[in-house]
Chain A
Amino acid sequence: QSVLTQPPSVSGAPGQRVTISCTGSISNIGAGYEVHWYQQFPGTAPKLLIFANTNRPSGVPDRFSGSKSGTSASLAITGLQAEDEADYYCQSYDTGLSGSVFGGGTKLTVL
């Protein structure tokens, strides 16, 4: 049971918009710590997708965006493409654990 809660799965048709939520608490996201998002394909290492709540590393398409409010954060993917089918994880820092934590992960299926 992760400290950060994500839906196990989301799905959408090509071209649609999907969002993935990451719900935390006052000891992590709500304490002001930044949220980061990763994309992982089967059998490969995670890739940084969004850092510091809303920022995209160089090379990440602007179809991917992040937001944060209160004790939650969200990853939005617009113009869904088949190649976006992957697992997505959020990450933040937790004061109670004195370290980083990941969400449980969300599997995105492109219908």
Chain B
Amino acid sequence: EVQLVQSGAEMRKPGESLKISCKASGYSFSNYWIAWVRQMPGKGLEWMGIIYPGDSDATYSPSFQGQVSISADKSMNTAYLRWSSLKATDAAMYFCARSSPAAQADYWGQGTLVSVSS
């Protein structure tokens, strides 16, 4: 059974760093892209970027380029989303999903809620 299990909710202050994770199981992690999707409170889905764990090739939406970093560890079957300096506007629910650049996202993680407040 394909599963994506995300790390738990996080609370941080503006300016702090954060790394959230998405652990995959039930399929060959290296061979499928993982996408990250943001959903701000009461708003729609935003595609942030995508990574191919096989070679760590990552592509970002222009809106998120330089704002976040996407990485993957094949040995841990885990993808990551990292901020070096959080802003209040980064407060949102973040989802990982198995996908590919132009294809559907067929399996989704449960989401990680990120709160940012001073």
Contacts and interface: CB of A to CB of B under 8 A. Distances in A.
Note whether A and B form a binding pair.
yes
A97 B108 contact: no
A100 B62 CA distance: 11
Q: Which of B37, B45, B106 has the most CB of A within 10 A?
A: B45
Interface residues of A, number: 28
Interface size class of B (residues with CB under 8 A): 20 to 34
Contact of A34 (B46, B99, B103): B103
A36 B50 CA distance: 17
A79 to B, nearest CB: 24
B60 interface: yes
B110 interface: yes
B101 interface: yes
Given A34-B102, A36-B104, A105-B44, A99 B95 contact: no
Given A45-B110, A45-B111, A99-B49, A91 B44 contact: no
Interface in B58-102: 59-62, 95, 97, 99, 101-102
15 contacts: A33-B102, A34-B102, A45-B108, A45-B110, A46-B37, A46-B45, A51-B106, A52-B104, A91-B45, A93-B102, A97-B62, A99-B101, A100-B47, A102-B37, A104-B44
